[in-house]
Chains A and B, each alone.
Chain A
Amino acid sequence: DAGITQSPRHKVTETGTPVTLRCHQTENHRYMYWYRQDPGHGLRLIHYSYGVKDTDKGEVSDGYSVSRSKTEDFLLTLESATSSQTSVYFCAISERGEQYFGPGTRLTVT
């Protein structure tokens, strides 16, 4: 157990509203990731972080921003939610090359 929690676990929001998802880890891991998982696609990287205030874009970063002001928290923000962002979002950390995943957040944009 890599001590990863995500909040909220479920959220329903309306198109056009901003949404922030939180990933929290307790073991001081340097690398943190945000993925989305959709039917017919593998997990796809949205953004990742390799340290406090060090972030980089992934494959599907449009419409998302991230922040990491402290080691333990990695925030994912949907600036103006759209129905295409309805998905399950997973946070992960990397430890010695292996990735460990949080429980996921199911987001529905209506």
Chain B
Amino acid sequence: KNEVEQSPQNLTAQEGEFITINCSYSVGISALHWLQQHPGGGIVSLFMLSSGKKKHGRLIATINIQEKHSSLHITASHPRDSAVYICAVPEESYNTDKLIFGTGTRLQVFP
């Protein structure tokens, strides 16, 4: 079964800084997910990616399949980016129906 680790657990930044959050997993996968959990508790899917890079606004997600590693970058960070960012991968490589989740990276961006 897959295992997933995120780093760092906590991250503070000044507004405008470039942010990187990392995710590593142990078993080959078909796709990796990045999620955002707002301070109010709601969880939103940001990206699902299986190779290369995806970009949405100031958020960029990359994945290296060979190294079993993904990064989430936030450019020109803003206080509204403060949230918990969660990485998720399939529990087993051949079954994408069940995901396992990292413990999250808590990001605080100060003005």
Contact = CB atoms under 8 A, between A and B. Distances in A.
Interface of A: 31, 40-45, 48, 50, 58-59, 88, 90, 94, 97-101, 103-104
> Does more than half of chain B's interface fall in helix, strand or loop, or is it mixed?
strand
A104 B39 CA distance: 13
Most chain A C-beta atoms within 10 Å of own C-beta, residue among B33, B43, B44, B102: B43
29 contacts: A31-B97, A40-B103, A41-B103, A42-B4, A42-B86, A42-B88, A42-B100, A42-B103, A43-B88, A45-B98, A45-B99, A45-B100, A48-B97, A50-B97, A59-B100, A90-B43, A97-B48, A97-B96, A98-B33, A98-B45, A99-B33, A99-B45, A99-B88, A100-B45, A103-B41, A103-B42, A104-B41, A104-B42, A104-B43
A43 B100 CA distance: 7
Interface string B22-62: 00000000010100000001111100100000000000000
Contacts of A40: 103
Nearest to A31: B97
A48 B97 CA distance: 9
Contacts of B42: 101, 103-104
Task: Give the interface size bracket for B toward A.
Answer: 20 to 34
A58 B98 contact: yes
A44 B98 CA distance: 10
Given A43-B101, A99-B33, A101-B42, 5 more contacts: A40-B103, A90-B43, A97-B96, A101-B45, A103-B42
Contacts of A90: 43
